[in-house]
Amino acid sequence: MGQALAAKVVKKTKDGLQIKITKQNFESFCDSIGLYRKEFLDALNAAEQNHRAGRVTKRKSLGELID
């Protein structure tokens, strides 16, 4: 089971909210969802290289990747 992320709500709007968390809580969160996995970091580096080389595709939404 996942671990709760302690956060303080700083600002609420009708479209979203702004939260404040500690660096340690943020690092724990990133680790728990896999942002420090080697595969993810390799994919991120490859994406950055493609972007720098001009190999990009403009998307209006993430839904376009699913369809």
Distance CA 35, CA 24 (A): 14
Q: What is the pTM of this model?
A: 0.52
Residue 1 or residue 18, greater confidence: 18
Any residues with CB less than 8 A from the CB of 52 and at least 6 apart, and which? none
Q: What is the pLDDT of residues 9-62, one digit of tens each?
A: 999 999 999 999 999 888 888 888 888 899 999 999 999 999 999 998 888 898
**Could you tell me the pLDDT band of residue 2, with boundaries at 50, 70 and 90?**
low
**Could you tell me the pLDDT band of residue 3, with boundaries at 50, 70 and 90?**
low
